[in-house]
Structure 1
Amino acid sequence: MKTTENNKTNNQEKSNTMKNIAIGVLAVCAVGLGAFALVQSSEKTELKQQLAAYEEQYGLQSAEQMESYREIEQNLASISMHEGNIRENMNLEGVEDPKARISAEIQAIEDLIAKNNQIIEDLNKKVEHKDSRLSAYKAENGKLKTRLETYKEEMTKLEALNAELADNLEKTKELNNTLERTVNNQDSTLIAKENLIAEQDQKLHRAYYLVGDHKELKEKNIVNKEGGILGIAAAKELNPKVNEEVFTEIDLRFLKRIPVYKKNAEIVTNHPSGSYKIVSEGNTIQWIEIKDPAKFWEKSKFLVVATKDSWI
């Protein structure tokens, strides 16, 4: 009987011991799980904080990128405008000194390319992942540089062309000056010849006449007479030493009437009778009409008319 009771007692003690052990293990596990949950919660909070900071930083970086992109695009638009100005000036052949204008446009483009390169370089330092837009901008800048070299070559050609045109213009001016001097000299020579011809022509057709009474003719030593009285059986001839200044000079081609306005008159010098006509009106001789100038002036270019009043 005692043995049976002892066994029951022992079994009861073992059972109590196992319960205590289980309770201890559960307590330890509960503490461990609580500590793990606490760690997990702390890490989760830290991750959330890091993510918020990253998102804030990424958002600021993205806004900065977009502003840089806009600046690059604006610079490219300005470059396009300057390129248009270059092409316009390239087409103005012969315009005086287009180099200054084209050089200014090229310099502006170079400055804008340099700005874009700097922006791209700064963005590449800040952006860790590959950005296709930055690559495209960088490629565009490379193309722009190539086009600038072409513009510079074209400007050099244009400058050479303008220099050639300026040289040709200068030569043309010199040639024009030479031609102008030649023409002026020829004009002067021609004028001199024309003046000489006119003078010779005037001399060729120059004639002189004088109407006066005997006293006047004698005083002026115009006519020599031999024997008799002037107009009555007297030989009359022009004094070879006559002074032309006392005569009236005429152009025999145009003057066809020699005015007299005396009652009586006689032509002293030698002129063919058929070449002229004495025209009277009432008792007064009005004029001597020259019917044939060539024949009238053939023997003498001097005409002396003595009026009746001089006959004594």
Structure 2
Amino acid sequence: MKQTMKVGMVLLGALTIAMWFGMSSINKKKEALSANIEQLERKSLQKELVYEEMIGLIDEVEGQLDEIVTRESLIYGQRTEAFQGDQKTKMLKEIGAIDELIVRSNENIISLNDKIKSSDLKLGVFQKRINALQADLTDRVTQITGLKEELVAKDEALAFLMNQTDSLNQSIDQYMADLGQKRLEITQLTASNNELNKGYLAIGTFQDLKTKGVVDKEGGFLGLLGRKVALQEDAEITEFMTIDKREINRIPVAATDLALISEHPSNSYRILPGANETEKVLEIVDPEAFWQISKYLVISKKS
């Protein structure tokens, strides 16, 4: 009888341990799934905003091209007639408006291409439409250039006014070229700044972090890319979540207690109570000091 009771107690104990590990595994999976969902939601929102901005610019360029065609039609309808009174001024005004629309359309197309190059989202779906807009704009420029030449040959006074307009357009073209160069420099600086502000976050129990190779057996942080203080190989970058250090100020963690394994000045952050007893919040109070030593943030937690 006693032997049977002992066997029963052993089985019960084994079952309890198995259930505990099972629940622990489920909690870990839930946390990982929650983190993935949050990351996907952020990317989805970013993608939606960029898409809306791209569509808005494309609509604007299409409207500008439609207006160019309309104004061209007005000029074409008058070009065979003898110029009377203020007709020259009106025609020149239409041509000036077309030139302005061409400049604005070109500026918007440059902006669209810049957005595709600078964004890490897949925006290739827009490239074909942008190329079509560029081709349409080029065709409109060719048409208006031919129209100008025809009008210049017809009237010397109009030719003089045209030359003045062309000089102004050359100044505008130079301005647009300078603007394009500045935009390229800004895009490059933005990309460089984004890379400099990239951080890496890993959260888990000490055992989880150890299993993934983020910490060594003594609890030291295994820095990547040359900062190795490890008794094992460097952790894979895929074990970290990529973050923007400028946007991370508060990190809620499902844990009864937590500690930072990566090195950060103690006065640059604080650990606060969360919404309930099973949550803690890491608040970064001095971001510049906090990230000065390391761009890796490793949080060990106790559930």
Q: TM-score range by the shorter chain?
A: 0.3 to 0.5
Scaled by the length of structure 1, the TM-score of the pair is: 0.41
Q: Give the structure with higher Rg (CA).
A: 1
Scaled by the length of structure 2, the TM-score of the pair is: 0.42
